[in-house]
Amino acid sequence: MHVRRRLTVAVAAAAVALTPVLVAPVASATPSGGDDRVADAPLVTRDTLLRPASPRTLEPRATSLRAARRPLFAFWGQKYNRIDGFTFQAAVRGSGTGIQLGVAWKTYRGVRPILPKKVFVQSRVDGGTWTTVPGARGRIRKSGFVLAAVPAHVVPAGVPVQTVDYRLKTKRITSGPRKARRSIVSDPVSVRFENQSMYTGDQARFYAPIKDLCPSASITLDTGHTIAQKRDAVFDFQYGIAIDVAEINAVTSETEASKLAVAIHECAHWRQFYNWGGTLKGFRAMEKRSGEVFVADTNPSGPTAPMQPDWAPLEHAADCATFLVTSGAQRTYGGWCNPTESAAAGLLWQGQKY
């Protein structure tokens, strides 16, 4: 009786030892906020194998299981898409402007996904058919984003505005597990491109003085007073150059030349942004460089405009650039443009960095 019982227990233990225990992968995380970094998705992959008497016979199977369990390449949802490095999915741009498209892709801790060999950029105009953008390719970055430089879009003559959607599409994988042999697309971003030659009213009024200085810039009339008064909204250029016409017109003692100089000042900011590449990363490099070149000093041989509470090096740079192309500017953040600063600011109008 005891012998049979011991034999039964031994057989059951052997059966358990020959049974592999697998835990399915789980991917349930959202990307973290950041300039160019997405957090890994916590993929839990545990192929626990209880070794039998002859482990060699099960090693090939364990290897194939791990290969089949590699996660598929996939994009996160639309709210993680970025335009020019900023965390918005819709923007206004002038005709002749390009963008940087950023789409977050799912990474996994300790496991490398099956990556596609190529990522294309697709566009559609005014809700039409998706087509591939010639020459535009997405680069898969370890930071967790696929980045693509999208060429400038030009609105046809006689058309006031076009809305262009952009998305990424991967080349179909032709090898590996069958479930990986597919092509996927990202959710789109949307850009409203305005034809500056068809501006009327105040848009035409404030575009005229910058037509030759910033030809690809767009003018947005900030009728709700929600853009021009907020620094982040101004310097991410989500709405191009924002002009609060009511605020400008309220100063009745100011000359028209001075009012139009506001557009030139904002055009200098536009140059700061695009001369450094038109991305958040470039903007931060420009902001740092501005602090190295432009300082709060006074004119040793004459009066100096008083410093305003919101004086900043990049604002002083825009002031100095404005003074080089117009003598009518009455609004200023204060300070004196010394010869070195004036020379540096002049590079903005030449499409160069200072």
pLDDT at 177 over 90: no
Which DSSP helix (H) or strand (E) runs through 275?
helix 256-275
pLDDT digits (tens, 9 = 90+) for 187-231: 999 999 999 999 999 999 999 999 999 999 999 999 988 886 666
pLDDT at 94 over 80: yes
pLDDT digits (tens, 9 = 90+) for 65-74: 455 566 788 9
Read off the DSSP letter of residue 36.
S
Q: Count of H helices and E strands in the chain? A: 9, 12
Question: 321, 293 in Cβ contact below 8 A?
Answer: no
Q: Could you give phi then psi for residue 164, rounded to 5 degrees?
A: -115, 125
Q: Which amino acid does the sequence have at 51?
A: R
pLDDT at 180 over 60: yes
Read off the DSSP letter of residue 87.
S
pLDDT digits (tens, 9 = 90+) for 259-282: 999 999 999 999 999 999 999 999
CA 42 to chain centre: 25
Burial of 219 per CB tally in 10 Å (0-12, 13-18, 19+):
buried
- Give the chain's mean pLDDT: 84
Distance CA 45, CA 30 (A): 19
**The most confident of 50-64, 93-107, 177-191, by mean pLDDT:** 93-107
Q: Which fold has domain 78-194?
A: Immunoglobulin-like (2.60.40)
91: confidence class by pLDDT, cuts 50, 70, 90: very high
107: confidence class by pLDDT, cuts 50, 70, 90: confident
pLDDT digits (tens, 9 = 90+) for 158-174: 999 999 999 999 999 88
3-state secondary structure 163-203: EEEEEEEECCCCCCCHHHCCCCECCCEEEEEECHHHCCHHH
Q: Where are the domains of the chain?
A: 2-68, 78-194, 199-350
Question: 260, 254 in Cβ contact below 8 A?
Answer: no
pLDDT score recorded for residue 43: 42
pLDDT score recorded for residue 52: 35
pLDDT at 4 over 70: no
Sign of the four-CA dihedral 251, 253, 258, 260: positive
For tokens 């990202």, name the residue. Answer: 186
pLDDT digits (tens, 9 = 90+) for 45-70: 333 333 334 434 444 444 444 555 66
Segment 129-141 shows an average pLDDT of 97
CB contact set of 293 (below 8 Å; sequence gap of 6+): 313, 317, 340, 341, 344, 354
pLDDT score recorded for residue 142: 87
pLDDT score recorded for residue 31: 57
Distance CA 323, CA 346 (A): 10
